[in-house]
């Protein structure tokens, strides 16, 4: 365990060159992923098949030798386990039946463990098949971000449906977020017990919330997850990624209890250094610099290493790698970070 560089950073240690992995590193920019997904059928079929999910998780490790592998799954397996009819439509993203306020009290998580068992089986397979030095990251979606999809039935530009839902139905929103936090905590505990070294909580839509809503919807549910996970797995290492949180990042670690802060590319490096004084940070290269390559990539990497390399840093993008990222640019990124 001591040789897994990413875990050393989560403990607050400065490691240089820093460990590197990329959000969505198993994805459509890789030809081997596209081939496997075509064989798997639907996207959820890929997530729930341990053979396929293990294979696509390992593909970027084999090709690039990243310091960490992240479980291949999706944040919407939780509402899928609540029988919300999650489906993925080509070119349009996830869809489900929008939930009504009166339906929240009837949500039944009783068979969620059975529903999610294939994902846990994938975690166990991965830990057995990954190189010893490679950190295995489990994950879930944060309750607020998962709730936005459940309420709107799809992704929306500013999550207005979920924000309005919260203003008009505060009790039902609290009940939904509480249920999602409880389920997510149980899910992360099972991942850690199956072999995950650490976990990340993705709050992709925290940036649309005002300050009061951020406290209620983004901070409080994640704090509950962290509390419950650590009660079951003492010392569990947790990365929080509240994308777009801006100035509200300053107290997020303290209020939620996460070990590391994932930073999007909009976070100034001067502010990131202040956050790093509290503990590990992760990020935060603009994914478009990776697509551009060349000088744009070199300058972006150099700025992050110069600004954050003297403290605990996990190098990553400020959000997920996109399908049009050239493989040669990913290889160049690794050389730039590792000094090769």
The catalytic residues are 24, 28, 37, 74, 149
Q: Give yes or no for a cis peptide into 49 (omega within 30° of 0).
A: no
Q: How far is CA 102 from CA 145, 162, 175, 274, in A?
A: 20, 15, 11, 44
233's enclosing H/E stretch is none
Strands 93-95 and 281-285, by their bridges, are unpaired
Q: What are phi and psi of 251, to 5 degrees?
A: -115, 5
Kindly provide the residue ranges of all beta strands, DSSP E only, lying in the chain, ordered along the sequence: 68-70, 87-89, 93-95, 135-141, 198-203, 238-242, 260-262, 281-285, 313-317
The three-state secondary structure class of 252 is helix
Q: Would you say 33 and 321 are in contact if contact means Cβ atoms under 8 Å apart? A: no
286-301 core/surface letters (b: 16 or more CB in 10 A; e: else): bbbbbbebeeebeebb
Q: Would you say 275 and 250 are in contact if contact means Cβ atoms under 8 Å apart? A: yes
Q: Is the Cα dihedral 153, 86, 241, 25 positive or negative?
A: negative
Q: Would you say 162 and 218 are in contact if contact means Cβ atoms under 8 Å apart? A: no
How far apart, in whole angstroms, are the C-alpha atoms of residue 64 and residue 58?
10
């Amino acid at each position: 365990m001591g040789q897994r560089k990413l875990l050393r950073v989560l403990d607050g240690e400065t490691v240089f060159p820093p460990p590197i992995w990329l959000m969505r590193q198993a994805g459509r920019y890789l030809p081997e992923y596209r081939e496997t997904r075509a064989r798997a059928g639907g996207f959820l079929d890929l997530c729930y098949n341990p053979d396929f999910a293990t294979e696509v998780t390992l593909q970027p490790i084999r090709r690039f030798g990243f310091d960490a592998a992240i479980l291949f799954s999706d944040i919407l397996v939780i509402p899928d386990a609540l029988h919300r009819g999650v489906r993925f439509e080509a070119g349009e993203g996830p869809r489900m039946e929008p939930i009504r306020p009166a339906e929240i009290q009837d949500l039944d998580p009783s068979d969620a463990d059975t529903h999610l068992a294939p994902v846990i089986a994938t975690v166990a397979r991965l830990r057995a098949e990954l190189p010893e030095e490679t950190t295995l990251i489990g994950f879930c979606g944060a309750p607020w971000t998962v709730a936005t999809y459940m309420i709107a039935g799809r992704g929306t530009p500013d999550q207005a449906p979920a924000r309005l839902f919260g203003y008009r139905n505060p009790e039902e929103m609290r009940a939904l977020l509480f249920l999602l936090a409880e389920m997510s905590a149980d899910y992360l505990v099972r991942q850690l017990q199956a072999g995950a070294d650490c976990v990340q909580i993705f709050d992709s839509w925290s940036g649309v919330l005002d300050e009061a809503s951020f406290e209620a919807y983004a901070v409080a549910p994640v704090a509950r997850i962290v509390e419950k996970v650590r009660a079951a797995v003492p010392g569990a290492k947790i990365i929080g990624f509240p994308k777009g949180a801006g100035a509200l990042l300053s107290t997020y670690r303290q209020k939620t209890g996460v070990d590391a802060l994932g930073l999007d590319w909009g976070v100034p490096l001067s502010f990131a250094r202040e956050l790093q004084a509290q503990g590990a940070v992760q990020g935060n290269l603009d994914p478009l610099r990776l697509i551009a390559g060349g000088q744009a990539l070199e300058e972006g990497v150099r700025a992050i290493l110069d600004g954050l390399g003297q403290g605990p840093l996990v190098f990553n993008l400020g959000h997920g790698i996109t399908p049009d990222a050239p493989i040669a640019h990913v290889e160049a990124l690794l050389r730039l970070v590792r000094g090769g």
